[in-house]
Structure 1
């Protein structure tokens, strides 16, 4: 082996170790979250139905509902609780983890080039092939650990065998792996990291939609593309049923083929550039905004619009699927001690209860959007944009308030669109009207506003800890989903911010939001700007060792002539 190739191999090995160390948080946290959520959610499928006849009616109703087939995929006739869990919970697990993995793929691949690490690796004889291979192996390890977490969590379901857990974990891992490989290839085509994210998410959405259409329609144009979709692996492996392993072999071969194509594509482009260079038609033009608030709205209007359309579609799908669920709840098909039975009950108001449940889910997603927008004030401060704006006369408090206003406007617009969609779909599916949709869906705006205020307060005090604000919406959803099954006190569940839609508690949320924003403004005015390198660059010497003092220099005195 030549010295140059040997040095390149050593540099690649050192870079692989550094990459694993840098990704250790994701390699531990994401599989652990999947394991915990699967272990908490899967046991409810064994106790959700009061009898086998009720479960058979639920399976027949699901197989006849095109919307449920579009969302979750095909369901075999005579499915047991394990197969129902793999069908419903597996679809949401594959979709949620795939979104996270695709976003992480874009950050891992093009983020290295944006930060200049790829140039350093190229100088150390680590070419595009080795760099892409290292990234692919890291993503493969992350996908494998996610599959281990999903399969281990399924064992909490009564009746799930070890073979079922292995097949389910393999299906989840291969789905994430193939979607990550497709996003990795898309990242070589896009011109920058944001373009890689959008292109990867577009590929994921197309794969999910094509598979859903192939399951919900008669055999047609979507049948062959649906079989090629990574989401088809869960149906092909059939966890809880046949537990087939041949599709896993084909999935592994497809991953290797995608990695080879990605390596060949990476060799044909320059660092920092995509294989296809696309220039925005508005690039180079002045924004024409009159202050921080219009600037924040201008920068985030694309994401706000896409998020509003996505929430509208999600509300329509969930409510359209809820018609059969409400009918079964009114017939007493659900056990009152189960999670869904405790949420819906068995009375005539099951439709309104289901609409409130959908509203809480939409409210949680809107709260996450509000947190994302409000946290951009802390991100701008850490990367130095707030300091640049301060030099032009824009104080950091105005920047903080600008992103809070963008979060408030974006969440309000998304909830209004979702409420309009819920009003149109709920009339026929649930028997609810426009007034109920406004009260239970659009009424989640105070909760989203409170989440944005919490994020702004953290950014005003400790911008480096702004990630804590992401914890509140999932905790609130967990209280709604598992509050009854975990015997959480009623007063704690009643105090849930997502349960205040259309209630007097919304006024308390608005007051708390105003107080938190005031605290954030006062706090950001009384401290200095924080920079990402201000504290990390300081290294304290070990105890007993002091750095050498700088030599004193005698002051120069003018000599008298």
Structure 2
């Protein structure tokens, strides 16, 4: 190591400890929740195929199903339990790990610079690259822990050791790749939201390239980081050499990030922000207009993501009978959602999943209030004649209205593809309505997050824990045999499972009333406390 390199990394160890100390709760949630979700899903997949005949039938039905391949990944050893686990959990797991790396690196790099904390740290005896390297070390360690826990979990399920190791390594390496991609993007722009948006776009492109490539001859999949991970073929004559491609690309991206960082100033990006108009739009002079402007990118991104997920679900729906075949275990799992046909039960499950995904937008949107407060951007707004309740209400309006848009996007995507494949566009309004029935459940979690913001602002992360609970109950509740008293704590369990069930008016009305009460509690709590988290007496 040269003297200049050593100087540039001065303070890396101290900053690494600082990141671990400051974000210990967030880190713990990620590294526990992701492996737990993946291993529980793998256990449920294993429970669906009790005989080799079931596996053979599932393999035959999925081999030529373009929708299943596009959503899940390449067809590899689907006549084995390991192959089915990799097929049904690998793609979504890789996306979640990539998102973990993206959010953590964006927060630790561009987020810290945007808040002005990096400049304060650099005023001490800290090297130029130390903050980014410390963040990268932490996120790489998080990915290593996730990969290790997934590996150990699959081995505990009696899956082959080598396949489990390769499967865990695929998560670890992909997460590190997207951590470095986020670092590169953070050198280009000076806005955290743009970093997340641009990296998210790369992830979306990677998914599309992988999907198109897997439907074809597989060549195009080599242009996708997700494709590199799946080319390791876990549980299907494993191949280690694609990991060398990942390592080489990662080293190249690290060198690129270092070169870009050397060519910019602290707090700035290589691409200067576009100058705004001479005068602000009239709407920006009002809290609602400002809130909508701040959150429009997030709303567009979430809506597009949920719409595309709905497209994938609708694409598969017409073939669900063939995919399930005579597998009674799979049929029973899907049939638990009610309905006179297996297709309606599958659509009900799909719409529920879309609603749970869309809840992520709703919680992120309302917690923007806490982000504005901790970044000290709320004070200048509240120093004007804008009252507190009006400022909070502006962001709540975006969260409540945006959740309707996100759900509608999911229902629209599902209905369009299912209607086109089945030559019945009358499915569009049917499935659009089925998605919008979940609006009160989403609003209840918005109300819960608002109450946390108003009463215990430092505990707003509990809103994400509530979503994780609802996700486990909604997707794995029956498989895990969760007691009814526990499952009933999820508002989604009280929402009619359309189109499989009949519409009942009372549950959505009750959920809406509870949501309104929680929002009022949050507003009153915020009026009583000081900015920053303290509550006045």
The TM-score with structure 2 as length reference comes to 0.88
Which of the numbers 518, 521, 531 marks the counterpart of 1:519?
Answer: 521
SS of the residue corresponding to residue 441 of structure 1 reads helix
1:120, distance to aligned residue in structure 2 (A):
4.6
- Tell me if 1:461 matches 2:455: yes
CA RMSD, Structure 1 to Structure 2 (Å)? 3.0
Q: Which runs of 5+ in 1 are unaligned?
A: 536-561
- Tell me if 1:168 matches 2:142: no
Question: Is contact 2:7–2:127 with CA below 8 Å preserved after alignment?
Answer: no
Cα distance in 1 between the residues matched to 2:485 and 2:322? 29
- Tell me if 1:276 matches 2:271: yes
Moved more, 481-490 or 357-366: 481-490
Partner of 1:243: 238
Q: Residues 459, 241 of structure 1: CA spacing in aligned structure 2 closer, same or farther, 3 A cutoff?
A: same
- Tell me if 1:267 matches 2:262: yes
Q: Residues 11, 385 of structure 1: CA spacing in aligned structure 2 closer, same or farther, 3 A cutoff?
A: closer
1:389-400 to 2 correspondences below 5 Å: 389-400=381-392
Cα distance in 2 between the residues matched to 1:445 and 1:421? 17
1:387-536 to 2 correspondences below 5 Å: 387-427=379-419, 433-434=427-428, 436-490=430-484, 493=487, 496-499=490-493, 500-501=495-496, 502-503=503-504, 504-525=506-527, 527-531=528-532
1:362-377 to 2 correspondences below 5 Å: 362-377=354-369
Tell me the alpha carbon deviations over residues 192-224 of structure 1, each in whole angstroms, 9 at most, x when there is no partner.
Answer: 3222222222222222221221111246xxx25
Partner of 2:227: 232
Q: Which runs of 5+ in 2 are unaligned?
A: 497-502
Cα distance in 2 between the residues matched to 1:368 and 1:392? 31
SS of the residue corresponding to residue 335 of structure 1 reads helix
Question: Is contact 2:139–2:176 with CA below 8 Å preserved after alignment?
Answer: yes
Cα distance in 2 between the residues matched to 1:529 and 1:90? 45
Question: Is contact 1:42–1:156 with CA below 8 Å preserved after alignment?
Answer: no
Question: Is contact 1:8–1:125 with CA below 8 Å preserved after alignment?
Answer: no
Partner of 1:181: 180
1:88, distance to aligned residue in structure 2 (A):
2.0
Question: Is contact 1:328–1:334 with CA below 8 Å preserved after alignment?
Answer: no
Q: Residues 217, 381 of structure 1: CA spacing in aligned structure 2 closer, same or farther, 3 A cutoff?
A: same
1:445, distance to aligned residue in structure 2 (A):
0.8
Cα distance in 2 between the residues matched to 1:76 and 1:422? 27
1:401, distance to aligned residue in structure 2 (A):
2.0
Cα distance in 2 between the residues matched to 1:16 and 1:304? 33
Number of residue pairs the alignment of both structures matches? 525
Q: Residues 23, 53 of structure 1: CA spacing in aligned structure 2 closer, same or farther, 3 A cutoff?
A: same
1:174, distance to aligned residue in structure 2 (A):
0.8
1:333, distance to aligned residue in structure 2 (A):
1.6
Cα distance in 1 between the residues matched to 2:410 and 2:278? 32
1:492, distance to aligned residue in structure 2 (A):
5.5
Cα distance in 2 between the residues matched to 1:17 and 1:297? 37
Partner of 1:559: none
1:528, distance to aligned residue in structure 2 (A):
3.2
Which of the numbers 325, 343, 349 marks the counterpart of 2:336?
Answer: 343
Question: Is contact 2:302–2:406 with CA below 8 Å preserved after alignment?
Answer: yes
SS of the residue corresponding to residue 288 of structure 1 reads helix
Cα distance in 1 between the residues matched to 2:203 and 2:27? 21
Tell me the alpha carbon deviations over residues 139-196 of structure 1, each in whole angstroms, 9 at most, x when there is no partner.
Answer: 32222122112212222434x1222221111111111111221221122122332222
SS of the residue corresponding to residue 155 of structure 1 reads helix
1:182-197 to 2 correspondences below 5 Å: 182-197=181-196
Partner of 2:500: none
Q: Residues 11, 47 of structure 1: CA spacing in aligned structure 2 closer, same or farther, 3 A cutoff?
A: closer
1:284, distance to aligned residue in structure 2 (A):
5.7
Partner of 2:499: none
1:45-124 to 2 correspondences below 5 Å: 45-49=45-49, 51-76=51-76, 79-120=79-120, 122-124=122-124
The TM-score with structure 1 as length reference comes to 0.85
Cα distance in 1 between the residues matched to 2:489 and 2:517? 18
